[in-house]
Structure 1
Amino acid sequence: MQNYIDYLVDWLEQQRREYAAEGYVLGISGGIDSALAAHLLVRTSAPVQGLILPSPTTSAQDIADARAVAQSAGCPVMELSISALYEGFMQSMAALFNQEAERQNVIAGNVQARLRMTALYAYAQSHRAIVVGTDNAAEWLTGYFTKFGDGGVDVAPLLGLRKEQVYQLAKLLGVPAQIMEKAPSAGLWQGQTDETEMGVSYAEIDAFLRGERVSAEAQRQIDFWHNRSHHKRRLAPAPLSLSAFEQRAKANNEIKAE
């Protein structure tokens, strides 16, 4: 575990140098994933800035937990509310939204996640920093992240870790107990938890990632989330260029002529 921590720190520095960046920025939510990321980043040789970006659905406990993470990691942190920005957006852009669409709370939560992404990149561009993601292997498998929200990052150091391994590394690095013990939540709405929304536990997803058999219900839920989220794990598809299309058409015509 310690060797892997050292590897991740070196990997982060390698990525930063390839970006020709001077430091890192990440959103600190008060959850286990961002806590681990913060503790990894402060072990690099570059400046780190944490941002706490609460919205109308962010609990006071999550803000307190985010500050506890920053303090335990020794990570500088700024708290900047996106509430006014979010409420102004929802009011001024109300005509964009279909009020009869399903999962209204998810639609609203995704707007919040994308506003946070905008804030992180605003800091990154003005401070020559790279945006660090906090998604793990279980979230990547299921697509449990917002496209161009918390999924919109420059580097994703936790993608090789199952949720159980996130906890193992976090414990080793001294993440506060209050973070280790809380139920994982994206904070999309009051009382929301990851496992309740997905209908499958992280323990079951981790078992699947280990190559073990899981219950039929867990397999159905994993397949459901994975299959509906392929678009999140790839770049936007693009057609052939006009030149390539013309070359293919010419080759097909030559074959037909033969």
Structure 2
Amino acid sequence: MKVPATICPADNNFRAWLDLLNLKPSHALLEAMASFLRAYLESQKRNRYILGVSGGIDSGFLAALLHRHDIPFTAFSIPIATNRPDERTRAEAICRAYAPASSWTSAQDLTDLYYLISTRLWTIFNRSTPAAEGNIKARIRMTFLYHAAQLLEGCVLSTDQLDELLTGFWTLHGDVGDVSPLQLIPKSVEYELAEILCLKLDNPAPLRAAIKAVPTDGLGISTSDLDQMGAPSFTALEDLFHSYFTLRLKAEETPLTNNERSHLDALEEEIPIKRFKATGFKRSGAIIFDPLTALP
């Protein structure tokens, strides 16, 4: 299988975003994801994936998918400071059920390291914010995973999905791995794919527990991811973006009616849309100076 070189759609590619939001769950999609993951590992000549397991659906789903298709990976439960006991319990259950027996021993608690770094930074800047502290935690976790990848000749899996991509809901250099199998899949579709996968597992209980859990980044910024994204549910968030992109696309082709313009104006006041408009720099990646075009 040839691994496609896929990049994030441009923010103004409204048709591409709509196509992604219209994606439907299926057994075929599940199998295609597994084939992609196996082909990517082979193409990069790495011997395993490195996966941080949080106890949530994203990492739980990927662990179960890799397990189901015998794709080699090493899993790490790496709790830190603000991870609740139920998150830690689910993470360890996922590792025990789906990770290769020799791939992990116990949770690697990074709390002491976080406090050491956070305290040192406080002495330098004399201030912080919940978001800044959350970013520190995310970057510590990713440092751990990339260190493991270097030593174990692996590549790091990202666990973000489309809803997080649209709302800019991730930490730069804290949530981005080498390959992102979920990045362009709506969260609501991921939940349904996880339900399909449960039917194929000998022990679906750990994944089902992750499906039922309140989605959270475990960084102590809010009670759930949806609180920060500004939506009551992932379906509602996706519907909001569908309406927004539909109107933006129509506006490129024909003038909007007064009612449509009013609706678009109202949508642009919604928190998820504001987040989308404010976080384009995350989706576009680092801006690179081009000396060949800069000179006269």
Q: Distance in 1 between matches of 2:243 and 2:275?
A: 18
Q: Distance in 2 between matches of 1:218 and 1:196?
A: 18
Deviation at 1:244, TM superposition (A): 4.2
- 1:190-234 alpha-carbon deviations (Å, 9 max, x no partner): 762111122213122222455588994686212111112111112
Among 118, 122, 125, the residue aligned to 1:97:
125
Please give the root-mean-square deviation of Cα atoms over the aligned residues, in Å.
Answer: 2.3
- 1:85-134 alpha-carbon deviations (Å, 9 max, x no partner): 111111222244352x6xx1111011000000000000001111110011
1:226 is aligned to 2:276: yes
Among 25, 32, 37, the residue aligned to 2:57:
32
Among 269, 280, 285, the residue aligned to 1:235:
285
Among 38, 45, 51, the residue aligned to 2:76:
51
Identical-residue share of aligned pairs (%):
26
Q: Distance in 2 between matches of 1:144 and 1:190?
A: 12
1:127 is aligned to 2:128: no
1:165 is aligned to 2:197: no
Q: Which amino acid aligns with 2:287?
A: P
**Greater shift in the superposed pair: 66-75 or 14-23:** 66-75
1:185 is aligned to 2:220: no
Unaligned runs of 5+ in 2: 1-25, 199-203, 247-262
Query: Could you say which residue in structure 1 is the equivalent of 2:294?
Result: 245
Distance 1:109 1:49, change over 3 A: same
Aligned residues: 242
Q: Distance in 1 between matches of 2:118 and 2:180?
A: 29
Aligned to 2:191, what secondary structure does the other structure show?
A: helix
Distance 1:98 1:224, change over 3 A: farther
Aligned to 1:195, what secondary structure does the other structure show?
A: helix
Q: Which runs of 4+ in 1 moved over 3 A?
A: 43-46, 74-78, 95-98, 208-219, 243-246
Unaligned runs of 5+ in 1: 250-258
* TM-score, structure 1 normalization: 0.85
Would the aligned equivalents of 2:138 and 2:171 in 1 still touch at CA under 8 Å?
yes
* TM-score, structure 2 normalization: 0.75
Deviation at 1:161, TM superposition (A): 1.4
